[in-house]
Amino acid sequence: MKIYSTEHILYLKKLKKDKTKVYLTQIFIIISLLFTWELLSSLGIINIFLFSSPKNILKTIFSLVTTNNFFHHVLTTIYEIIISTLISFGLGFLISTILFQNEFLRKVFDPYLTILNSLPKVALGPLIIIWIGASINSIIFMSLMISLFITIINLYTFFINTNPNYITLLLSMKATKFDIYKKVIIPSNIKNIISTLKINVSMNLIGVIMGELLVSKQGLGYLIMYGSEVFNINLVITSVFILGIISTILYYLIDYLEKK
């Protein structure tokens, strides 16, 4: 049976209290913003036709649900984000490992990765449609173009900047590159890997929406494009609002994974 000192118990209580304060403050900020937005809309200080309102967003969501469009579009976007994330992070992890293991390849491809990462991916949209076709494949490919290179750069940078003392210690015991990778590189960079996953998910979300804006006939990106074409601001802002909720959920899921 573990016995904690009074000071330690007080310290744990303080940590819990501070964490609760942070969550409550975050919730308060969101509620305050929504309340202020609704109040300004009700008083006519801001134009509802241009800026919508929380009440109109709820009405739009209810309308999408009753017409069986809500879950179809939301699940389509979530599916595309998940597939894009699995592919881009898996490829990024694999390529980063290869670059870490081979210094020659790392030096050769380093400038190319930087150049490819800096290319304006939206400008390649029409080419992607021509190459792959106007389908979900082009959406996923667009998402990969946006997220893959930054994932590779982040991961292999973390790998090569691992504490060299650990590597030297294993080398003194005649460890192989694979031993170093398994025993030092991965365990030392778990938090960095999770942080890269957070970036990867956010970039894939952006990529998926950009792809849907270009080619899709379903998904939240399509709703944004359709709403802008018919000047239905409620639909556009509602879609963006739902994207914010999805992004928040994904963030906290990865944050939970990081804590575990």
What is the SS3 string spanning 116-128? HHHCCHHHHHHHH
pTM: 0.85
* pLDDT digits (tens), the chain, 260 positions: 456 677 777 888 888 888 889 889 989 999 999 999 999 998 888 888 888 889 999 999 998 898 878 898 999 999 999 999 999 999 999 999 999 888 898 889 988 888 888 888 777 878 888 888 878 888 998 899 899 999 999 999 999 888 888 888 888 888 888 888 888 899 989 989 999 999 999 999 999 998 888 887 889 999 999 998 888 899 999 999 999 999 989 988 888 887 77
Q: What is the pLDDT of residue 2?
A: 56
- φ/ψ of 18, rounded to 5, equals -65, -40
Structure tokens at 22: 């942070």
What is the model's pLDDT at position 38?
92
Distance CA 214, CA 219 (A): 12
What are the φ and ψ backbone dihedral angles of 75, each rounded to 5 degrees?
-65, -35
pLDDT value, residue 91: 95
Q: How far is CA 28 from CA 34, 35, 36, 113, 240, in A?
A: 10, 10, 12, 42, 21
